[in-house]
Structures are given as structure tokens and as C-alpha cells.
Structure 1
């Protein structure tokens, strides 16, 4: 049997499924859900921007050996969201669909932030507490507790594990090693890729065998450092070429509203590519970030919902825009050369154009940093869902971690075309399941938002009690046992208020 021909056939076949699922089902569903919850929450992702930042400094609500803070949970989710796609993905969208894709990317970030708020608030409401004080949760957990469908939660969990632990992590590893091609043209065949793979799995093993606490600490260090460094380079590039900005924005908006081009083929148009880049880069509504959101120890579910909306902005409006500005400045200065490039080479030449050859070295470093943080964030999501399926399996967890490390090593030394398509398909399945679930359960997140808004108007630091929402399906946390004394808002007073309070829309 010709395995090369068989592999190509599978790549083509899965590519068609992937393209159909995303173009005609998933993008439409993601946009609909984002707009729906933007309306239902009255634009919570805009109204409460100030609160998104103030909640970052909140200390742990309930102390535990392995519980993590709101900021650490933000860094875990941002670590997974911010990957090589934020660098090469933007360049690919611009090269394939045109500069206008950037505008639609920005718009979808604003809309998608509402979906991110709902799913992360639900993850907080239906989180559970582990033996060592850590919190776990996510779509699988709120599907089981809120909808009473554990079988569907298991399907979601398996789809996420296959997508993130074995698909996306292999791809991130491949992108890391392929960034060395500029320096070592034959890196794939001279043993360099194997060496990188060994080093990478050693570093990854150190983090993932340390558990959620170590993962959150590592990501809370790597993510801010790499993001700040990348932003500094982008801002320097923009300021140094500030005279090009009118042409940059003019090109973006002209391309974004080129309706003749859009009508000629919507599936591959600048609008569709911008929507894909915006939504799939920040993963809003896809069901991945809620796994990190659930781990935070906060006094009210809405607080982490707002923080996770901020993560969408960090990913798309900040990091992706940095990539976009560097690419677009190069685009207007040398359109012929820029149009001939795609992906990573386009980014490398764009940075080289602005700050010289050192820019190529910086991008290589950024690829390694972004990809490693994604490896850690993706693994964290997978572990959460593995624990959901197999609740008490110490040796099973060891085997699972070893298999995850093997997938990373395999990604360093092999092309992942088939794995990319399969990962996209699995992510499509999990996203469809999650979007339907949050549409059905969204009223409880909206009720929690009403409760949060009421307490904020009363000048209180919001504290949530599940019994304050009539009819809410039972959840493990958010009982009186979880509530410490909050000074001006003591528990006794809060419980008395909650007993007589009826959430708007659920009377």
C-alpha cells in the first residue's frame, strides 16, 4: 500500500470536512451566539470594561493548597489563546483574504467577548472542588450539572482531549522547530528536531507533573513577559513608521468593505477569513477557556466571566493587532514583495523591514515563547477533561501525561497536516456542543449578571450564593460554606438579602 498517497487522500478528505464545518456551520453559529448574548447582556463586554481590570487584583476567595487567583486563571487561558496563530495566522489571513480581514477580526473580538463571558461564568457556577483544594470545571461539568447529560459531557471531553493534547500541542511543537529553518535549513534531517523535541518534553514534563498550581505560576510569568516584549517591538515599529498609518488604515477599511470581492465568493472572502481569525484565535465560545476560568477562586462567578472577556481583548485587539500593524506597514511600503509572501516568512520580512535582521531573531524567540505557553495551557485543558472522565486514576494520569509528551515530541519531528485537519474537526465538534449548551444554560449566567449588577449598584463587593437564583440546577460550590465574612457585606446579612431576592427574568 502506498502510505504517502493514502495520507494525502486522508488530508484532502478531512480538509473538505473541516472547510464545510467551519464555513457553513460553525462560523455562522459562533456569530449568532455572540450577537445574541451581546444583546441579552446589554453589551456586558463594553459596559464592564473597568471591572475587567479591577477584578485582576482580587485575592483568592477561598484559600486552598492548589487553588489559584483570578489573575493566574487569566494567564492560563491567555497562554492557550495566544499561540503561533497570533503571529503567522494574522499574516496568512492578510495574504489570503486581504488586509480587510483585520477589521472583521476586530469586530468579531468585540462580539465574541460576550460568548466568552457567558461560558466562563457558567464554568464558575458549576465548578467542583478537588481533594487538594483546587477547583475544576468547564463545559463538560456544566453540561452534566446544568443539563443533566453526563454522556454528552464525556463526548465533549474526549473531543477536547484529542484536539488540544494530541492535535494542537503537536502542531505548536512543529511550529517551534520549523522556526529554526532560517538558521538550519536541514534541521529536520540532521538531528536538530530530535534534540529540540527532547529538550521541549523535559521542560514540559517539569511543568505538567507539578499540577495546576505550577502551570498557573509558569504561565503567569511567561505570558506577561512575552506579550510585553512583542508589544514593545510592534509599538516601536508603528511609531517609527507613523507616517504610514493613514495608508495602513485606509487599506484595511477599503479592503474590508470591498463588496464586489465579497459577493464573488463569500466562503473565501475577506469577511469570512477575518471572522475565522478573530473567533478561532481568541477561542470565544469554543469551550476551551472555561476550563481555566473554573479554576479561579473568586467571590462571584461574573468576576471571572469579565476577566475571561478581557483575555479575548488581550489576544485579538492587542496581540493580533500588533502582528497586523507590523505586517501592514510592510504591506504599504513594499506591496509587491509582501503580496508574494505568506505566513511566517511574511512576518519575518515585515519585522526585518522595520528593525533589521535582529527582528528575525526576535520573531524566532517569540514563536518559541508563544508556542511553549500554548503547550502548557492546552495541556491544562486536556487534564481537566481527563479528570472529568476518569475521576480517580493516579496511574492513569501518569500514562496520560506521558502520551501528551509523546505527542509533543512527534510534532517536533513530523509534519502535522493530517493532525491539523483532525484537530480542527474535533474542535468543531466540541464548539458546536458548547454553543448549544450555553444557549440552553445562558439564562443562569444572565441571572448571575443581574445579581452582580444589583450588588454593584448598592456599592458592595459582589458575593454570590446559588440559592439567590430561584430554580437554578444544583451546583457543588456557592453555598454558605463557601462564604467568608466580607466586612461591610457579612455573610448573615447577605444570606438574609438573598432569601428574599428574585432575579430579574426568573421570578
Structure 2
């Protein structure tokens, strides 16, 4: 039953809808994400740290990155390569290139629609404006957001958190209790409290992971050309894979599915991180979305995948597939480094998603249930440490579908207005 629900909500039709949104906005803007690469890179690298309101642009960027840079960059990449071969990386790149414009439009529309006290926040701000069906779409999205924060944004992350914690020598029960207690207080505090954590945590964990990954690639640099070649060959292979399915189809499904899982293009989640940023033009907040997908998938997922392909591990799967090249390159220090990164990634993602889920709940309950949600989020963290990963992924994927479907529908319904606004800004 779980597989059936997951297949309906997060199967090919949903993935195709997400890709079509990215392709449509890319085409209509003449690949804005490529033409304006200098603008969004400058906007992201030079974003202001001082706040003109409740949250600074830098804090919002780190919160959005915390939500997307999670265990998908470690476990998700390994799972994609296991399911679809090296070619899955190519399709992660393709989906992320299109997804850049999807996230841009999510942030852009959120900033263009003025907040109304007592109404939706983040992505809900524009979804409820999507014509006569906006109210119904917003209700479905809010429910999906709340559930997804418990599933993919919490339990899946905490499963990896516990495994990495044990790899560092800590007892599993301590990981569950520590994560549950910490996330309870974050869920109570909301976005203002969460960004104080992410602005310190995200830069540190990104630098640590990138430094360790680049060292691995340097050690195994002789295997790099073959690894890059295998990505291209596998991406378009017609040889039969599992169940007689062409390798290209498996690579596409694995790459696109896990790519969306890690960069969250089409889910509308990053819009929640920027809702309290003031004094910035809507396009500037859209630039942050493009950079988020770029760093998360085109940079970090790529180096993870190349590490795996440059030093393949016989007979291993999941996170162990990622740990292997680091351990081979740096010994036990490499394994500890990637385990520490996994702990930090998982916690950072859960911190961001507890704020997203709380916003979804508040929309449904008119602002009530803060303590109840904090308790539920803490309980989900403990459950994620003990439940099977496959079950957690199925639940998380289904909940992501509940977010993606109404969000993409709203983006299409508002596309004419959004593209018109953007065109006017471009001319101005």
C-alpha cells in the first residue's frame, strides 16, 4: 500500500511535472539562469549579513541551504548511483539546471505578493493567490508541508544522523535523545531562532565537506577521466538493467528523483526561508534560489559522486558507499570527517524543515499548536533513528509529492503574471 501511494504521488507523472515547470520557465526567460549567471553569483557571494527586518539575506540563504544540503548529498547520491549507475549524476545535473528557474520563480513570486497578516507565509503566500483553486491548493500544500517536515525533513535525516553518530563512537540511544531534545527547542523558537544556528553551521559544514572531498579527488585524480567518461556513457546507455529496463531510463529516474530530493526544486520550501527578509528586490531573492540549487547539486552532489566513482567500493551500498573513498584516501580520519559532515548535514536540514513544517501547520490551525508540533517533531526525530530507511524514504517521497503537485500547479497558474513582472524588471 505504501509503495502504491508513493508511486502515485512521487512517480514519473510528478517528476515530469516538476521538470516541465523548470523547462517552461527556462525557455520563457531564454535560460535566465545561464544568461544572468554573473548576477546571481554576485548576489549570493556578496549578500548582506545585516538584517533590514527580522532576518538578514545571509541568514535566509543559510537557512535555505540548510534545508537542501542534507543527507541527500551523501546518502542520496550513493542511492542514485546504486539504482541508476554513474549516468544518474548526469540527470541530476540536467534536472538541477532546469530546477534553478523553478526555485527562482518560487522565491520571486513569494516576494512579489505582499504578506497579509493571518494568511499564508512562504510558498503559501502565492499558492493561495492561484485563481479560484488557490485556496484548495494551499490547504493540500500546507498539509503536505507539515507531513514532509516530519518525514523527509526529519526522520530520514535522523536515520542518517544516528548511523553517523554511532560511526563516531557515540551510542545510538544518545543520538535519538539529543536530536529530539534539540529539535524540540528549535521548533518552539521558529525561524528567528533557527537562522542563528544555520548562519554558523552551514558555512562550517560546507567548507569541511568540500575540503575533504577535494582531497579525495586529488588522491584518486588518475581515475577522474574514466569517472567522467562513465557518467556520459551510462546516462545514454540502452543496455538492459534491472527488470529489463534500459539503463538510460533507470539513470533518469534515479538522477531526477534524488536530484529533486536534495535541491528541493518544485517543493516551494526555500520560499519560507526568505519570507522575513526585507529591503531586497524580488529578483535578488530569486537569485538566492538559483545559487542554492547550484551549490547543492551542481557542486556538492557532483564532488560526492565523483569521489564514489573514482574509488568504487565492492559490495557496499548507501552511506557506506560514500564513506569508503574518504577512508581509503585519509584513513580513519577520512571516515570520521564524512561522518561528522553527515551529523551536521542531517541536523541542519531538520532545523530548517521544522520551521517550514510549523508554517504549514499554522496555516491549517490559524496559528495554534506550537507546542504540539514541537513535541511531534521531537518524537519524529526519535522514530527516525530506529525505523527502516526504506520505509522512511517511501513516506518522505509521498509527502514531497503532496507539496510538489499543488506548488507546481500554482506556479503554472501564476506563470503569466510572474513572467510579465520579471520582463518589466529586465527592461527596467
Asked whether the equivalents of residues 187 and 358 of structure 2 are also in contact (C-alpha less than 8 Å), the reply is no
Counterparts of 2:165 and 2:288, CA distance in 1: 35
Tell me if 1:454 matches 2:427. Answer: yes
Counterparts of residues 284-295 of structure 1 (less than 5 Å): 284-295=265-276
Instruction: Indicate the residue corresponding to 1:140 in structure 2.
Output: 124
For these two proteins, the number of residue pairs brought into alignment is 424
Of structures 1 and 2, the one with the larger relative CO (CA 8 A, separation 6+) is: 2
Asked whether the equivalents of residues 216 and 325 of structure 2 are also in contact (C-alpha less than 8 Å), the reply is no
Question: Which secondary structure does the structure 2 equivalent of 1:295 belong to?
Answer: coil
1:417 Cα deviation (Å)? 4.0
Asked whether the equivalents of residues 61 and 297 of structure 1 are also in contact (C-alpha less than 8 Å), the reply is no
Quote the RMSD (CA, aligned, Å): 2.5
Deviations 1:111-137 (A, max 9, x none): 111111111111112252669xxx972
Counterparts of 2:249 and 2:224, CA distance in 1: 27
Q: TM-score, normalised by structure 2?
A: 0.92
**285-294 or 169-178: which moved more?**
285-294
Asked whether the equivalents of residues 126 and 137 of structure 1 are also in contact (C-alpha less than 8 Å), the reply is no
Q: TM-score, normalised by structure 1?
A: 0.78
Tell me if 1:216 matches 2:195. Answer: yes
Counterparts of 1:245 and 1:416, CA distance in 2: 31
Question: Which secondary structure does the structure 2 equivalent of 1:297 belong to?
Answer: coil
Larger-Rg structure = 1
| Change over 3 Å in CA distance of 1:358–1:308 after alignment to 2 | same
Question: Which secondary structure does the structure 2 equivalent of 1:284 belong to?
Answer: coil
Counterparts of 1:173 and 1:330, CA distance in 2: 27
| Change over 3 Å in CA distance of 1:268–1:18 after alignment to 2 | farther
1:147 Cα deviation (Å)? 2.5
Asked whether the equivalents of residues 330 and 350 of structure 1 are also in contact (C-alpha less than 8 Å), the reply is yes
| Change over 3 Å in CA distance of 1:81–1:239 after alignment to 2 | same
| Change over 3 Å in CA distance of 1:37–1:52 after alignment to 2 | same
* Residue 265 of structure 1, aligned match among 245, 255, 262: 245
1:153 Cα deviation (Å)? 0.8
Counterparts of 1:104 and 1:265, CA distance in 2: 17
Instruction: Indicate the residue corresponding to 1:334 in structure 2.
Output: none
Instruction: Indicate the residue corresponding to 1:283 in structure 2.
Output: 264
* Residue 207 of structure 2, aligned match among 213, 228, 235: 228
| Change over 3 Å in CA distance of 1:152–1:252 after alignment to 2 | closer
Instruction: Indicate the residue corresponding to 1:169 in structure 2.
Output: 154
Counterparts of 2:424 and 2:184, CA distance in 1: 42
Deviations 1:257-292 (A, max 9, x none): 213348952596112212222222211112222222
Question: Which secondary structure does the structure 1 equivalent of 2:385 belong to?
Answer: helix
Asked whether the equivalents of residues 164 and 340 of structure 2 are also in contact (C-alpha less than 8 Å), the reply is no
Question: Which secondary structure does the structure 1 equivalent of 2:98 belong to?
Answer: helix
* Residue 367 of structure 1, aligned match among 342, 352, 356: 342
5+ unaligned residues in a row in structure 1: which ranges?
Answer: 1-12, 332-337, 456-507
Tell me if 1:201 matches 2:176. Answer: no
Instruction: Indicate the residue corresponding to 2:414 in structure 1.
Output: 441
Instruction: Indicate the residue corresponding to 2:376 in structure 1.
Output: 403
Counterparts of residues 245-256 of structure 1 (less than 5 Å): 245-256=224-235
Instruction: Indicate the residue corresponding to 1:345 in structure 2.
Output: 320
1:31 Cα deviation (Å)? 1.6
| Change over 3 Å in CA distance of 1:298–1:307 after alignment to 2 | farther
Counterparts of 2:321 and 2:240, CA distance in 1: 23
5+ unaligned residues in a row in structure 2: which ranges?
Answer: none
1:326 Cα deviation (Å)? 1.0
